[in-house]
Amino acid sequence: MALSKQTLDHLCDAESHIRAAIKSAAVNEKPMVVKQLADLLHGLEQCKKFDEIMDMLDNREPGSNGMFGSFFNDDDE
């Protein structure tokens, strides 16, 4: 199930605010603060990507090997 529009809107707002904080911190704070903010931003982006991956798995047809074929079975020989 995809993230709701409201959740995505809040995530985008949070990303925007964290980007602004990174910009300010790059000039005014210690590098560790910038790194921690960047990690937060990365986590938010990964949350959205993870949701997309979960949707792909949920919508997969039973028995499907996916778009890349089988890597673990020798059935293709």
The model's pLDDT over 8-57, given as tens digits with 9 standing for 90+, comes to 999 999 999 999 999 999 999 999 999 999 999 999 999 888 888 887 77
Residues contacting residue 69 through CB under 8 Å, at least 6 positions apart: 76
Q: How confident is the model at residue 65 (pLDDT cuts 50, 70, 90)?
A: low
How far is CA 7 from its chain centroid?
14
3-class SS at 22?
helix
Q: Does 45 map to a domain?
A: yes
Q: Does 73 map to a domain?
A: no
Domain count, the chain: 1
φ, ψ of residue 76 to 5 degrees: the values are -80, 0
Q: Does 67 map to a domain?
A: no
Q: Does 41 map to a domain?
A: yes
Q: Does 1 map to a domain?
A: no
How far is CA 59 from its chain centroid?
18
Q: Does 61 map to a domain?
A: no
Q: Structure pTM?
A: 0.69
